[in-house]
Amino acid sequence: MICAVYKSSKKVDTYLFVKKRDVFDDVPAPLMEMFGAPMLVMVVPLSKRDHLGIADISKVKAALDEKGYYLQIPPPAINLLEQHKQEIGFKQ
């Protein structure tokens, strides 16, 4: 299986995986509007890969088979101050 990976022009660290280069027919219009102009990052043969950065390759393959696309969004930011407060048992 080969897929094309696009970077969002509107959302930082957000990527869209589709089955064919420049074919976005399976991607819902509201998602494409929110994603912005897709910028091609790479075309990758998934069958020859073990991993894909932070994306779970099995989830990517399943989503491409089921929906025709996979959207990778960045993990939520960690508030280090709040994490530290919890660790030390700080109460306000």
Percent of the chain with pLDDT over 70: 100
| pLDDT mean over 29-44 | 96
Position 91 pLDDT exceeds 80: no
Radius of gyration of the chain (CA): 17
How far apart, in whole angstroms, are the C-alpha atoms of residue 62 and residue 71?
12
Cα–Cα distance for residue pair 15/84, rounded to 1 Å: 31
- CA neighbor of 17 nearest in space, from 58, 76, 77: 58
For residue range 47-71, what is the model confidence (pLDDT) as tens digits? 888 887 888 899 999 999 999 999 9
